[in-house]
Amino acid sequence: MDIQLFKAELKDAQTIWEMQVKSFQKLLDKYQDFETSPASETVDNVRRRLEQENTYYYFICMADEKVGAVRVIDYHKENENKRISPIFVLPEFQGQGIAQKAIRLCEAVHGSKGWELDTILQEKGNCHLYEKMGYHATDRTEKINDKLTLIFYHK
């Protein structure tokens, strides 16, 4: 499976937002996290992020089809960590190792060390993915509601 990253631009905000909502909708329905879920964000939030100086959005593409996206925050400074927030793959393409390959591509572009991300503690598959890729859970968690706790990782 050939996965590639293509840098997104401001004009792509609507497409990214639509894909993001579709990708996170099941988790929003499951956890009822209307405050922090990417599925409940507005297109304006995505647009604002695209305008941020240290933000890089990439479309995750497979055979020239957009199957997801990833946002990388990279300050390009020695002691500043990079952050993935969010990464998502459309539901019909999940479970194929696409996110793992996309993260590896991000690491190839932005460096392999100094990464942070967070995920839903209750989503064991996500936690397993990050752990097998060399990410380590920190002591930090954040309870969002009775159903959902975020766990923070670093590499």
Per residue of the chain (155 residues), give pLDDT as tens: 899 999 999 999 999 999 999 999 999 999 999 999 999 999 999 999 999 999 999 999 999 899 999 999 998 877 789 999 999 999 999 999 999 999 999 999 999 899 999 999 999 999 999 999 999 999 999 999 999 999 999 99
3-state secondary structure 97-120: CHHHHHHHHHHHHHCCCCEEEEEE
Which pLDDT belongs to residue 77? 78
3-state secondary structure of 55: strand
The pTM assigned to this predicted structure is 0.95
For residue 45, give the H/E element and its range.
helix 43-51
Go through the domains of the chain in sequence order and give each one's CATH number.
3-154 (3.40.630.30)
3-state secondary structure 65-86: EEEEEEEEECCCCCCCCEEEEE
Q: Residues 6 or more apart from 112 whose CB is under 8 A from it?
A: 155
Which pLDDT belongs to residue 78? 73
Distances (CA, A) of 122 to 26, 50, 55, 126, 137: 14, 29, 28, 9, 14
